[in-house]
């Protein structure tokens, strides 16, 4: 269905995260492998606390200082090893090489800057020469591209004036402004209406399927996995319990946890079985 290739976009081997707490060291992620080919969307699915968000925050080096991230390999195509990069240099990677869309758009947007300034700062941080005027033009184009009806009004306003769906579109526009080759989205549509969810996911996957980009999509929604991802990684208790093509894993799950997860989704046309 798209330009999927054997060429790797991201290869992670044996990623582990440990966090020092007053009650001892905890290990939310215990050796996760993640392979993303060019042109492909890989889903990470699992329930709260399974380590799916911690895995990607570890990769992006967004975890607090009391945490340690290790891996045998965390190779980003066209860049190098992510974990070999000092944390302070990760700013060059995030935004330009990897676009990140978090669950809560209002956490990603600065509440006291106008939206326009956030586009400007993003570009300024990565490119030395961009005028306010150029930046505004780019921002207008990006916002139009994510389906915002009145881009100029949004640019001149603040985050709190936006609805959840609109704010998430703005975040997606920001995350894709610098055309990163890899997009990482952490529950990008959780809490949004079904219709808005479908639009946002179409937008993101449209961006990915242009020019062989790739995406890691973290979600607990099996519908999102089935409809938007090509491959899926199922996580439980900090480990990958099953991975493979969406067709294989979602249609014939092998691991008991995956089977249980899929069985707990209401299926279309089915009534709730109370007898259990």
Partner 1 sequence: MSLVEIEDVHKVFPARQRGGEPVHALKGVSLHVNEGETLAVIGESGSGKSTLGRVALRLIDVDSGAVRIDGKDLGAMDANTLRRQRADMQLVFQEPFESLNPRMAIGAIVAEPLQIHQPQLGTTEIRRQVLSTLEHVGLPQSFADRLPGELSGGQQQRVGIARAIISRPRFVVLDEPTSSLDLSIRAQILALLAELQREYSMAYLFVSHDMHTVEWVSDRIAVMYLGEIVETKPTRELFDAPEHPYTQTLLSARLSPDPREPHAYKAFAGHKTVRDAVENQEPA
Q: Binding segment for partner 1 among 53-61, 77-85, 145-153, 234-242 (CB under 8 A)?
A: 145-153
Closest CA relative to residue 51, chosen from 81, 19, 24: 19
Neighbour-count burial for 163-184, b at 16+ CB within 10 Å, e otherwise: eebbbbbbbbbbbbbbebbbbb
| Nearer Cβ to partner 1 (112/149) | 149
Rounded Cα distance between 107 and 124, Å, is 21
- In the complex, least distance from residue 93 CB atom to partner 1, rounded to whole angstroms: 31
Integer CA distances (angstroms), 53 to 101, 147, 228, in order: 12, 27, 19
**Do residues 112 and 54 touch, judged by C-beta distance below 8 A?**
no
| Nearer Cβ to partner 1 (95/253) | 253
Q: Binding segment for partner 1 among 31-39, 75-83, 108-116, 142-150 (CB under 8 A)?
A: 142-150
- In the complex, least distance from residue 210 CB atom to partner 1, rounded to whole angstroms: 16
Q: For residue 154, state whether it binds partner 1 (rule: CB under 8 A).
A: no
Rule CB under 8 A: choose which of 22, 48, 64, 128 binds partner 1.
48
Q: Which of residues 7-46 bind partner 1 (CB under 8 A)?
A: none
Q: For residue 222, state whether it binds partner 1 (rule: CB under 8 A).
A: yes
| Nearer Cβ to partner 1 (134/202) | 202
How many other CB atoms are found less than 10 A from the CB of residue 36?
23
Q: For residue 259, state whether it binds partner 1 (rule: CB under 8 A).
A: no
For 12, residues 6+ apart whose C-beta sits below 8 A from its C-beta are 32, 33, 34, 35, 59, 71, 73, 74, 75
Closest CA relative to residue 253, chosen from 234, 273, 227, 269: 234
What 3-state DSSP class applies to 26? strand
Q: Binding segment for partner 1 among 121-129, 135-143, 175-183, 259-267 (CB under 8 A)?
A: 259-267
Q: Which of residues 89-108 bind partner 1 (CB under 8 A)?
A: none
Tokens 């799916």 identify what position? 52
Q: Report the alpha-carbon angle 234-188-220, nearest 5.
A: 30
Q: For residue 202, state whether it binds partner 1 (rule: CB under 8 A).
A: yes
Q: For residue 73, state whether it binds partner 1 (rule: CB under 8 A).
A: no
Rounded Cα distance between 40 and 137, Å, is 30
| Nearer Cβ to partner 1 (98/218) | 218
Q: For residue 141, state whether it binds partner 1 (rule: CB under 8 A).
A: no
- In the complex, least distance from residue 224 CB atom to partner 1, rounded to whole angstroms: 6
Rule CB under 8 A: choose which of 227, 237, 239, 244 binds partner 1.
227
Q: Binding segment for partner 1 among 88-96, 115-123, 129-137, 221-229 (CB under 8 A)?
A: 221-229
**Do residues 157 and 115 touch, judged by C-beta distance below 8 A?**
yes
Q: For residue 173, state whether it binds partner 1 (rule: CB under 8 A).
A: no
Bridge partners (DSSP) of residue 34 are: 12
Q: What are phi and psi of 235, to 5 degrees?
A: -110, 145
Q: Give the binding site for partner 1 (CB under 8 A).
A: 47-48, 147-149, 163-164, 193-199, 202, 220-228, 246-247, 250-251, 260-262, 264-274, 276
């Amino acid at each position: 269905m798209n330009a999927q290739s054997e060429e790797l976009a991201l290869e992670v081997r044996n990623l582990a995260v440990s966090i020092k707490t007053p009650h001892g060291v905890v290990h939310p992620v215990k050796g996760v492998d993640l392979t993303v080919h060019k042109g492909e969307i890989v889903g990470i699915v699992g329930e709260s606390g399974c380590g799916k968000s911690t895995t990607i925050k570890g990769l992006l080096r967004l975890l607090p200082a009391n945490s340690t991230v290790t891996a045998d390999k965390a190779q980003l195509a066209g860049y190098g090893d992510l974990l070999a990069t000092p944390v302070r240099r990760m700013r060059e990677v995030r935004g330009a090489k990897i676009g990140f869309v978090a669950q809560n758009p209002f956490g990603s947007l600065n509440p006291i800057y106008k939206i326009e300034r956030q586009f400007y700062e993003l570009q300024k941080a990565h490119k030395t020469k961009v005028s306010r005027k150029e930046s505004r033009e780019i921002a207008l184009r990006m916002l139009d591209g994510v389906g915002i009806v009145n881009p100029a009004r949004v640019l001149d306003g603040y985050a709190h004036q936006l609805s959840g769906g609109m704010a998430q579109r703005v975040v997606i526009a920001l995350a894709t402004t610098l055309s990163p080759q890899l997009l990482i989205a952490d529950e990008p549509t959780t809490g949004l209406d079904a219709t808005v969810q479908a639009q946002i996911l179409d937008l993101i996957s449209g961006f990915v399927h242009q020019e062989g980009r790739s995406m890691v999509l973290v979600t607990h929604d099996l519908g999102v996995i089935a409809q938007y991802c090509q491959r899926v990684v199922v996580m439980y208790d900090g480990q990958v319990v099953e991975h493979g093509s969406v067709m294989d894993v979602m249609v014939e799950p092998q691991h008991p946890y995956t089977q249980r997860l899929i069985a707990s989704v209401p299926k279309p046309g089915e009534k709730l079985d109370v007898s259990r």
